[in-house]
Structure 1
Amino acid sequence: MGLQLPDFTFNDRFRGSWSFLLLADEMEIDERNASSSTQQHNIDQMGVSKRKILYKNKGLTQQTLRRAREVECFQLRKAKRIETLSKKRNIELSVAEGADDNADPISWHGQQIIANLFSNDPSIQMAALRASVRWFNQGITEIEDWATLGLVDRIIFFTENNKPIEMRRAATKSLSGALTDVLQFLNIEEMHKLISTFIDYFSCQASRILIFIDRSDDFELRQLSVEIIGLIANEGMMQRDLCIELGAVPATVELLKRAESPLEVRYVTSLIPMLCNCGECCRDLIRMSSVLYVFQKQLLSVDDSILICTLEAVFCLSLGPNENIEVVVSSGIVSQVVYLLLSHLNQQVKFSALRVIGNIVTGSEHHTQGILITAVIDCGALHCVRNFLENGDLKIKKETCWMLSNILADSTNHVQEVISIGILPLLVKNLSSGDFKIRKEACHAVVNALIVGNIDQVLTVINEGAISALCDLLTVMEPRIVHLALTGIENALKKGEELKVTNGVNPFLRFVEEARGIEKLEFLQLSPNMEIYLLAHEIMETFYSEAYENDPLSWCDICQI
């Protein structure tokens, strides 16, 4: 009798064990999902403060994060500023950055640096000065600690002439680093505190700095010293006046006279605009004349960078009251500026010269008339202006229109000079089309011609298409320009009333109608700007109410054109 097998086979047993394993896996997955959902539920139930542990900024407040962003932005601005200044001064960054590669790393913090600065060992003092330079450049300092612990006073002590040249250079770098880096990083109150602290020290120590500005044979030391005084003077009128009283102007003039390289000339010349900040120049106009005398020689240079830097300085000297313009004109430098405007090939030099001429003609009628006759008209500068309006770039065209607006605002004689040379067609062309910045400046020039010019001159301006161009500006979104265009149209129509006495009709009304000006004037009477509304309403009531009453149907036809 054979062996009796069970009722189930091997495959049945395997199938049963496999089913058990699948069931176990499903139970494990369910437990895992339940655990995950429970954890997510717990996280959802947590508050905002508890969820912060899941992020990298754990425990950081808004002030701390803001401070970190400010530090990062400061470092980026600092690097960009150094790169920009180096390009302007033609300094290779690789040389400037590699100068401190062999310097000792920072091994002192605040108190240790101060303690080592007061050491009697020159090597320790030198190492502390190098550390202070890097410490200041980090932008993490306390100005109150500087003043209390005497750090700034001690660093100024190392700038004296009896100290080694390396020590004086390192001390000057420390001051320069504090002014250029930390000053930009502090807020307004801290900045004023920092400036006042340095000014207190410079009030009794600036004579030392001016001495080695004037006498030092080390180029880098002179360069850093000029930078310190320029930065202080650039902070405001009080700081600037203090630098002038301590002799910054004569020291600068002497340094310009003895400058040995174009780089040094550019660097020292850049100090003059800083001494003429806040829209004013030196109170002592005799000293200002001595600066202009040196500038006359610099304008004979063949170096374009020196010419540009000098012209920018002359531009700053001509800012402010009319007395400043008188000194600039009496120095005889205007003829040299006009010569550069006419003959130089560099566009940037021409632009800088154009800025000087445009700034000079903004004076009173007496100054403007004398300057135009002697320096602009007689030298043929208006012929060059014509070329600028036709072929110049955006900056030159804008500056040229601004200069012409000042010329045309002076007298009928100057308006006639502009008309005789043939500048008006190009001026109206720039008013009609092109960049809006140029059109705005051209609008000022054309409106001034319509206001100042006599009836014949106004007729010439209108025949060139000025009314049509002004009517096009009535639809722009800048209220000031709309009001200016309305003023020009109103003055043109007023001049046309003089012809109405002899001809019986105002001939300029037709130009406004043909340019669809009536429709635009009607629309401007709905303007929320009160000045625009009143002026548009006054023009309609004064010059077009009679025509509307006599023939209302023709008026409607005009408005529907």
Structure 2
Amino acid sequence: MMCSDVEDVAFEAIWSITNITSGTSEHTKYLIQLGVTEVLLHILLSNKMKLKEHAIWAIGNIAADSPEFRDLLIDHDVILQIVNNFHLPQIKLSFIRNASWALFNICRLKPYPPLDTLEPIFPCWQKVIHIDDEVTLIDICWSISYLSDAYHSENSFISFFDSISKRLVHLLERNEQIQIPILRIFGNIASGSDIHTDRIIDKNILKFLFLSLHSNSANIKKESCWTISNITAGNSYQIDCVMNAQIIARLIQIIPNAEFDVKKEATWALCNVAIGGNDKQRVQLVENKFLDVVVDLLKIQDTSLLNVLLESLLKILKMNTEYSKNLEENGTPDILASYQHHQNQEIATKISTLLDTYFEEEKE
């Protein structure tokens, strides 16, 4: 019926298939066994845009079901067939939305498809990302964010990122639904090599990150802090760029009243400076009142965070023992003493070193 020459009959058949593929995995599997994939591909090769649009909707449902079904679609060259339709002159916005959503479903499930199977989408996104349609942009940006998670160090992905980075920065002026995936993209790129991190700094992303720390949205602040932490995990030049953008001072300002997830990511960003930065940068960190917030951060019940905070204190105090007076004034030694018998041996050892070396009076 889907291949019927009578378009209305074929449309109703595809509509039924679309509804079934939005159901259970068993229903979708049964349709695949009946050969629905080949039929949908046949429709994509036709010149009937109304049928194509709903065929792509069904394909999106199948791709969203499982990595197994998604990979089956990829093996049938579904990506290329979808992308080819973006070049048609009679394409409508509804088609672009459906196709972008289908590609989103192809990209989002782990394990991610091999990059070479996804590269045919890049030229399409380079064009469509300039569309002024929020629904489409959200799907495209999330699709790219998923790929950046897996392939942020791959040359072909980096080249693609470079080609759209200016547009991505511009889209950061949009709403939160678009900002979040874009922040993920930049954060993932920053988690790669120093060369890749330099790339995002060169895109003027730090200006937005500073402004985002004034946002009322906890999600925006969390994602921004995570991106910042990936940058401060880099080299001294990159840390200087963050400091020159007044981001470090702002992070310290927001920590006391921040939500837990924001506070945690902000702490990582600051500790990366203390641990991986140079002495000049550590001094700047202290001058921006980092030690004033340490006592509250040490109370957070998170082993990984506690460990990195202790390492930060060791680095700072090794540089200048006089800073121990600042910590004594805000009660940090008492908090450290309460952790002396921590079940994590690495943490217990660092606390013992701190107390023995810099706060002898607090040692039991």
Provide the TM-score with structure 2 as the length reference.
0.88
Larger radius of gyration: 1
- Map 1:50-449 → 2, pairs under 5 A: 158-160=1-3, 162-181=4-23, 183=24, 191=25, 194=27, 196-202=29-35, 205-219=36-50, 221-258=51-88, 260-279=91-110, 281-283=112-114, 285=116, 288-324=118-154, 326-331=155-160, 332-341=163-172, 344-369=173-198, 371-372=199-200, 377-449=201-273
Residue aligned with 2:56, SS: helix
- Give the Cα–Cα distance (whole angstroms) in 2 for the partners of residues 179 and 304 of structure 1: 26
Residues in 2 aligned to 1:257 and 1:323: alpha-carbon distance in whole angstroms: 29
- Does structure 2 retain, via aligned residues, the 8 Å contact 1:236–1:277? no
4+ aligned runs moved over 4 Å, structure 1:
193-196, 528-531
Q: Any unmatched runs of 5+ in structure 2?
A: none
- Does structure 1 conserve the Cα–Cα contact (< 8 Å) formed by 2:339 and 2:348? yes
- In structure 1, the residue corresponding to 2:301 is in which secondary structure? coil
- CA drift of 1:401 comes to 0.4
Question: Could you say what secondary structure the match of 2:34 adopts?
Answer: helix
1:521 Cα shift? Answer: 0.5
Deviation at 1:322? 4.0
* 1:239-265 Cα shifts (integer Å, max 9, x gaps): 222211101111111223336332321
Question: In structure 1, what is the Cα distance between the partners aligned to 2:5 and 2:113?
Answer: 33
The percent identity for this pair of structures is: 22
Q: 1:460 to 1:212 in 2, by over 3 A?
A: same
Go from structure 1 to structure 2 and tell me whether the alpha carbon gap of 1:177 and 1:349 turns closer, same or farther (over 3 Å shift): closer
For 2:153 and 2:349, the matched residues in 1 are separated by: 39
Cα deviation 1:330-362 (Å, max 9, x = unaligned): 121122212333xx3544433443232222222
Q: Which whole-Å CA distance do the structure 2 matches of 1:380 and 1:535 have between them?
A: 38
1:417 CA drift (Å): 0.7
What one-letter code is carried by the residue in structure 2 that aligns with 1:485? L
What secondary structure is seen at the aligned counterpart in 2 of 1:276?
Answer: helix
Deviation at 1:281, TM superposition (A): 4.4
Q: How far apart, in 2, do the equivalents of 1:387 and 1:360 lie?
A: 20
- Aligned partners of 2:9, 2:282: CA distance in 1, in Å? 70
Task: Provide the residue aligned with 2:353 in structure 1.
Answer: 538
Normalising to structure 1: TM-score of the pair? 0.59
Structure 1, unaligned stretches of length 5 or more?
Answer: 1-157, 184-190, 500-505
Following the alignment from structure 1 to structure 2, what is the Cα–Cα distance between the partners of residues 239 and 426?
46
**CA-based RMSD:** 2.6
Amino acid at match of 1:261: K
CA contact (8 A) 1:280 1:320 kept: no
Q: Matched residues in 2 for 1:257 and 1:282: separation?
A: 24
Q: Residue 48 of structure 2 aligns to a residue in which SS?
A: coil
Secondary structure in 2 matching 1:215: coil
Question: Size of the alignment, in residue pairs?
Answer: 361
State the one-letter code of the partner of 1:462: V
Q: Can you list the C-alpha shifts for 1:455-493, whole angstroms capped at 9, x where unaligned?
A: 110111122121222221111233343333323323333
Query: What pairs up with 1:439-518 in 2 under 5 angstroms?
Result: 439-494=263-318, 496=319, 499=320, 506-518=321-333
Give the AA of the match of 2:133: D
> Cα–Cα, structure 1 residues 428 and 279, in superposed 2: closer, same or farther, change >3 Å?
farther
CA-to-aligned-CA distance 1:503-534 (integer Å, 9 cap, x gap): xxx12322322221110000012444555434
Aligned partners of 1:345 and 1:196: how far apart in 2?
Answer: 39
2:252–2:290 CA contact under 8 A, matched in 1: yes
Deviation string 1:119-154 (CA, Å, 9 cap, x unpaired) is: xxxxxxxxxxxxxxxxxxxxxxxxxxxxxxxxxxxx
Does the C-alpha gap of structure 1 residues 460 and 217 become closer, same or farther in structure 2, counting only changes over 3 Å? Answer: same
Cα distance, 1:263–1:368 mapped onto 2, change above 3 Å: same
Q: Distance in 2 between matches of 1:470 and 1:198?
A: 58
Cα offset, 1:292, TM superposition: 1.9
Which digits, 9 at most, give the CA deviation of each residue in 1:402-443, with x for residues without a partner?
A: 100000101111001111222111011122322222101101
Does structure 2 conserve the Cα–Cα contact (< 8 Å) formed by 1:402 and 1:441? yes
* Partner SS for 2:251: helix
In structure 1, how many angstroms separate the alpha carbons of the residues matched to 2:110 and 2:316? 35
CA distance change for structure 1 residues 199 and 388 in 2, over 3 Å: closer, same or farther?
same
Distance 1:307 1:276 in 2: 15
Q: Does the aligned pair in 2 maintain the 1:470–1:488 contact within 8 Å?
A: no
Contact 2:153–2:192 under 8 Å retained in 1? no
State the SS of the aligned residue for 2:213. helix
CA distance in 2, matches of 1:172, 1:337: 36
Is this contact kept in 2: 1:292–1:314, CA < 8 A?
no
